[in-house]
A and B are shown apart, each in its own frame.
Chain A
């Protein structure tokens, strides 16, 4: 179900850089772990993001804006701001198995427990499965392919038992910042199916971070662009923000 993942990818973008040291670079696992640490190095976050869906010829199909509050790796509150027909719709994720959706149009809150799938997330080029990954080292076995200039190129294959619809990912990690700059998704026949590019490094609320990601589906000839418009980290968000009561009342 689409809402269980709740934009983990967007949260992964907002990260403070840290270089890959020689110690980290001794193994592919070390590189990936360091990079994952970089992208998940926060206590809490609050940010405003915009997703733009585009056709192959660059025509904008849809724009979605959300405000996301997150504490730790699991607790997350998402409020939809645009488009108007979903304004007010809110999602509360307490853990991977506990998600509540508040539907203002019905004045109802429903609990949703869903198995993540290969379905597209709201028509974007991200599947729920892809968006569910915050730390790649938990789900993939890395191998160092080469060092390409200032980037490490890793070959990631799903760990045994990990469900993933691609055969492998090629990941480019920036040596100086630890940022994951690019990912290419391949099937077993070595056909490149998607490319995810991250960039536009800016300083938001004092934190240097990548603020833009573009996922391109080479088969569908479609792309999705995510921009981080504003970001605050480590504000000390309280636990009572992440409750059903706040989900309904805090609209």
Chain B
């Protein structure tokens, strides 16, 4: 480097640099921030699909407010809930909200439907509360969804418009928190709640951050040469700005993580400035510049390699940090000169200190390197990812307590989703979808299922008096007329072409998601890919018989799915024994409409009897032997065939269906209630057929009429699998069912963000260690440059710590966020080493302090408790360890207490 420039040039340089810095800062802070937690998911097709689906249906804009009381229907609690939901409903920016205090009640009758608020006024006494409870039990999709089966708790899902979440959610949360009391606890679940929780955590760090900043400044002022501060500004600020703006200028996604490059520039730039030997000693200056260049390139390469990461923000971090390092490394030597000229600083002497370690220490490093590499290799496959809330935030944290509340009161908190694509105006597609939903309800580990078909059936019940999917496309289109514009549907349906089956997992199911997903995938894979419509009145008797046989088979499968493991294989045979009679009646009937009308009447009678039985005023499911007998008698009497025996059979079947240990749950479980109602005709048929068989009654014509109560069996409109059934069909529609949800991608998240990142870093360091050892062996004469490049930089204290972290992380079960923090920690450690190799003891200590404090604060900003605790502890230990290691290696007796002369 030439002699210092004149003052005018220096000032000009400083002015231009600071102007460019200001522009870059403006660019950097105008970048759209990927501020939500989902930005940290890996960029894989599965994750992309998960994000696309959740964004399309507003799931990331939805918060679930939980309210836990002793009795949510108690007047005081219900009034409080109503006040809360009324207040939330007035906030601008809500897409929709649902609660027992806001939903309508539909009362269908033969003549029509009456729609009114479910809770029009707060009940004043016990009788009114009991009446309200009975009405809630009769209203579909309430118990288990908006009110807990034990009536202690309520859920209020609130969806906000995507661009309003940041503005609206804090208002919602404040209202709910204001309403909370010890006997009216509130919980928040969902992406907005987690984001807000993390943001609040960051806010809480302001004071520690300020304290750390003051401490840092204290050390900066008293321990560091003040004359270098302007030069420091000329290095740090432009480097930070360049790094932070780089992702924006390169049109990459910016995130808080890429903003962290500013910190790196701060740390690295500080090292650059305070290791500057001064302009007089040209030999040392050249060495300093060379070391700086090498270390900045080395760091930049390490960071740039993050561009291979599947986690998008990490790519941003890689590029930003690489730019920051290069900027600091290149700008440093230039800026130092001008900066010092500007402040009038002039070095008068040069320190006499050695920079090259003794060969014994080098060999010690060479010996240690393979050992460290061995440790790395041994631990390479050990890390396991845990992505659950309790691990990430801590078991006593608010998110973890919310999960516990949902598991305890609503039977589960995790969801899987089946994305159903097809024509939502096509009854065939909807029946396939409905059958799938019913089958999924029977999978062990599934606590509840919400299907778009439930909505269609409810509207059908309201508008035409039948809880079923209509038979024709025209009828479906008419039903759509009543649905369009209903904001709640946006959570389940998208433009008549896609919909979601939401599957709530029980806590038990959530513990074994893979097994559960395999079971559900079997069901989605066996669903028909193409569904076509056949009008039985237009096909031959033989064709009709074949289709009926296939329908029968499907019905048998459905019944077995409904009854789960309790279903008997004999159901299929039982149905088969009576079907020929039915087939005969159907195929030989001259007037199909009369047959259908008769069956419909019987179906209505059976349904009514079963409904009355299930929804008696005293309890939801008053199943007892006597009542079962009454049901049996009622049903059998309705058949008009007094010769049928068999109440014991029905009784036994009911007992099988609701075994004693499940009785309490059956009484209260909305899911089970819905399951029963959804499938009542199928279940009735199965019950009666087995009953007749048990009673030795065969071939009774009345039995065939009950078989006809099977929904899909009575209609002349048959929907067949167009890919498998050899029959000419009309209106064929494609279907596609795919499984997604966080449990489905969690293994990917864990393996990619955590394990893969560690593997990547491991291999980098292993290579560095081994290459370093090789370099020292081969280039004995001039090993300095290569040694620093490939050994010293990665072999810092933090890098050593990094070597051990996979094992530590695996042992402590820390979350994937550690990987992010460790990346930054490692780079900071590398900076320390790079500079420490060129500086003396006091500067080294200062470097450790300067690095450690802001690093801890920055890492704390990532908030998740386990990460905060583990990384902060590791960070401090690592800083100390790094100092000790480097000091032991490079500060021999001949280097101690050598003060730099100013």
Chain B positions within 8 Å of A40 at CB level: none
Per-residue CB contact flags for chain A residues 178-194 toward chain B (1 = under 8 Å, else 0) read: 00000000011101010
Interface SS majority for chain A: loop
**Chain A minimum-CB-distance residue to B477:** A85
Cβ–Cβ contact A113 & B90, under 8 A: no
Contact between chains at B112 and A110 (CB < 8 Å): yes
Residues of A within 8 A of B112 (CB): 100, 110-113
Residue of A nearest to B108 (CB): A110
Q: Is A86 an interface residue (CB 8 A)?
A: yes
Task: Report if A219-B92 is in contact (Cβ < 8 Å); known contacts: A110-B112, A114-B114.
Answer: yes
Q: Once the chains bind, are A112 and B115 in contact (CB under 8 Å)?
A: yes
Q: Chain A nearest CB: distance from B120 CB in Å? A: 8
User: Given the interface contacts A105-B477, A110-B112, does A115 sit within 8 Å of B482 by beta carbon?
Assistant: no
Contact with A along B439-482 (1 / 0, CB 8 A): 00000000000000000000000111100001010110110111
Contact of B478 among A106, A112, A115, A121 (CB under 8 A): A106
Residue A146, interface by CB 8 Å: no
A169 at the B interface (CB under 8 A): no
B485 touches A117 (CB 8 A): no
Interface assignment of A229: CB less than 8 Å from any CB of chain B: no
Q: Cβ of A119: which chain B residues have Cβ within 8 Å of it?
A: 485-487
Interface residue A77 (Cβ < 8 Å from any Cβ of B): no
Residues of A within 8 A of B478 (CB): 85-86, 89, 103-106
A157 and B32 alpha carbons, distance in the complex (Å): 40
By the criterion CB–CB under 8 Å, are A110 and B115 in contact? no
User: 0/1 per residue, A186-211, Cβ < 8 Å to B?
Assistant: 01110101000000000000000000
Q: How far is the CB of B463 from chain A (nearest CB, A)?
A: 6
Known: A85-B477, A105-B474. Is A191-B92 also a contact (CB below 8 A)? yes
CA distance A231 to B696 in the complex (A): 72
A237 at the interface (CB under 8 A from B): no
Are A123 and B92 in touch, CB under 8 angstroms? Answer: no
The residue that B115 contacts in the complex, of A114, A124, A167, A191, with Cβ under 8 A, is: A114
A65 to B91: give the CA distance in the assembly, Å: 33
Contact B164 A219 (CB under 8 A): yes
Q: How far is the CA of A12 from the CA of B28 in the complex (A)?
A: 53
Q: B90–A193 contact, CB under 8 A?
A: no
CA distance A69 to B114 in the complex (A): 25
Say if the beta carbon of B484 comes within 8 Å of chain A: yes
- Give chain B nearest CB distance to A122 CB in angstroms: 5
Chain B residue at smallest Cβ distance from A127: B485
- Point out the residues of chain A lying under 8 angstroms from B114, CB to CB: 112-114
Cβ of A111 and Cβ of B111 under 8 Å apart? yes
Q: B113: CB under 8 A from chain A?
A: yes
Contacts A114-B114, A191-B92: A2 and B104 contacting too (C-beta < 8 A)? no
| Of B92, B116, B164, B470, the contact of A189 (CB 8 Å cutoff) | B92
Shortest C-beta distance, B900 to chain A (Å), equals 61
Residue B89 at the chain A interface, CB threshold 8 Å: yes
List the B side residues contacting A120 at CB < 8 Å: 485-487
The yes or no answer to A159 lying at the interface (CB within 8 A) is: no
- Once the chains bind, are A105 and B472 in contact (CB under 8 Å)? yes
B117 at the interface (CB under 8 A from A): yes
Kindly provide the distance from the CB of B311 to the nearest chain A CB, expressed in whole angstroms. Answer: 32
Known contacts A1-B115, A187-B92; A108 and B464 CB within 8 A of each other: yes
Q: Which residues of A contact B164 (CB under 8 A)?
A: 219
Is there an interface contact between A121 and B475, defined as CB atoms closer than 8 Å?
no
Assess A193 versus B92: contact at CB under 8 Å? Given A86-B481, A110-B464, A124-B485.
yes
A169 to chain B, nearest CB (A): 15
Tell me, in angstroms, the Cα distance from A166 to B477 when the chains sit together: 33
B161 x A112 contact (CB < 8 A): no
Q: Which B residues from 775 to 801 make CB contacts under 8 A with A?
A: none
A85: chain B residues within 8 A (beta carbon): 425, 474, 477-478, 480-481
Total number of residue pairs linking A and B with CB closer than 8 Å: 93
Does B481 lie within 8 Å of A122, measured CB to CB? yes
Q: How far is the CA of A38 from the CA of B481 in the complex (A)?
A: 33
A81-108 contact mask (Cβ, 8 Å, vs B): 1 or 0: 0000110010000000000110111101
CB of B466 to closest CB in A, whole Å: 9
> How many angstroms from the CA of A136 to the CA of B604 in the assembled complex?
46
Dominant secondary structure of chain B at its interface with chain A = mixed
Instruction: Decide: A219 and B161 in contact? CB cutoff 8 A.
Output: yes
Judge whether A165 is part of the interface by a CB distance below 8 angstroms: yes
User: Which residues of A sit under 8 angstroms from B91, Cβ to Cβ?
Assistant: 187
Interface residues of B in 92-142 (CB under 8 A from A): 92-93, 95, 104, 111-117
What residues on B are CB-neighbors of A121 within 8 Å? 485
Whose C-beta in chain B lies nearest to the C-beta of A117? B104
Beyond A85-B478, A105-B472, A220-B161, whether A122 also contacts B485 by CB under 8 A is yes
- Residues in A with CB closer than 8 Å to B475 are 105-106
By the criterion CB–CB under 8 Å, are A89 and B92 in contact? no
Report if A89-B481 is in contact (Cβ < 8 Å); known contacts: A110-B113, A115-B116, A115-B117.
Answer: yes
B residues within 8 A CB of A86?
A: 477-478, 481
List residues of chain A with CB within 8 A of the CB of B474: 85, 105
Asked if B464 and A115 sit within 8 Å, CB to CB, the answer is no
Give Cα A103–Cα B104 distance, bound, in whole angstroms: 22
Q: List residues 68-96 of chain B with CB under 8 A from any CB of chain A.
A: 89-93, 95
**Distance to closest chain B CB from A106 (angstroms):** 5
Contacts of B95 in A (CB 8 A): 220
With a CB–CB cut-off of 8 A, which chain B residues contact A104?
478
Contacts of B486 in A (CB 8 A): 119-120
Q: How far is the CB of A97 from chain B (nearest CB, A)?
A: 10
Q: Which residues of B contact A105 (CB under 8 A)?
A: 470, 472, 474-475, 477-478
CB distance from A99 to the nearest CB of B (A): 9
Instruction: Give A117 to B487 CA distance when docked, in angstroms.
Output: 12
The CA of A85 and the CA of B465, in the complex, are separated in Å by 21
Pick the contact of B111 from A2, A106, A110 — CB < 8 Å? Answer: A110
Please report the C-alpha to C-alpha distance between residue A117 and residue B105 in the assembled complex, in whole angstroms.
12
Residues of A within 8 A of B482 (CB): 2
Minimum distance in angstroms from B405 CB to a CB of chain A: 29
Residue of B nearest to A88 (CB): B478
Select from chain A the residue with minimum beta-carbon distance to B115: A114
How close is B84's CB to chain A, nearest CB, in angstroms?
A: 16
Which residues of chain B are near A103, meaning CB under 8 Å? 463-464, 478
Query: Which chain A positions have C-beta within 8 A of B463?
Result: 101, 103, 106, 108, 110
Complexed CA–CA distance, A222 and B819 (Å): 43
Q: Whole-angstrom distance between the alpha carbons of A122 and B489 in the complex?
A: 12
Residue among B93, B113, B470, B480 making CB contact with A113, cutoff 8 Å? B113
- Contact A114 B93, beta carbon cutoff 8 Å: no
Residue in A86, A104, A110 whose Cβ sees the most chain B Cβ within 10 Å: A110
State A113–B484 Cα separation when bound (angstroms).
19
User: What is the CB-to-nearest-CB distance from B115 to chain A, in angstroms, rounded to a whole number?
Assistant: 4
- Measured between alpha carbons, how far is A1 from B105 in the docked complex, in Å? 11
Closest partner residue, chain B, to A124 (CB atom):
B485
Task: Name B116's closest neighbour in chain A (CB-CB).
Answer: A115
**How far is B362's CA from A124's CA once the two chains are assembled, in angstroms?**
77
Measured CA separation A103–B465 after assembly (Å): 12
Minimum CB distance partner of A62 in chain B: B484
Chain A residues whose CB sits within 8 angstroms of the CB of B111 once the complex forms: 110-111
| In the complex, chain A residues whose CB is within 8 Å of the CB of B462 | 110
Give chain A interface residues in 43-78, CB to chain B under 8 Å. none
Instruction: Please measure, in the bound complex, the distance between the C-alpha atom of A1 and the C-alpha atom of B89, giving whole angstroms.
Output: 19
Tell me, in angstroms, the Cα distance from A89 to B464 when the chains sit together.
14
Question: What chain B residues lie within 8 Å of A167 (beta carbons)?
Answer: 90
- Chain B residues lying within 8 Å of A2, measured Cβ to Cβ, are 482, 485
**Proximity bits, B574-592, A CB within 8 Å = 1, else 0:** 0000000000000000000
A-B residue pairs in contact (CB < 8 Å), sample of 5: A85-B477, A105-B472, A110-B113, A117-B104, A122-B484
Residues of chain A touching chain B, judged by Cβ–Cβ distance below 8 Å, are 1-2, 80, 85-86, 89, 100-101, 103-106, 108, 110-115, 117-124, 165, 167, 187-189, 191, 193, 219-220
Give the 3 A-B CB pairs with smallest separation, nearest first: A111-B112, A123-B485, A85-B477
- 13 further A-B contacts with Cβ under 8 Å, apart from A120-B486, A187-B92, A219-B161, are A2-B482, A2-B485, A85-B477, A101-B463, A106-B463, A108-B463, A108-B465, A112-B115, A122-B481, A189-B92, A193-B92, A219-B92, A219-B164
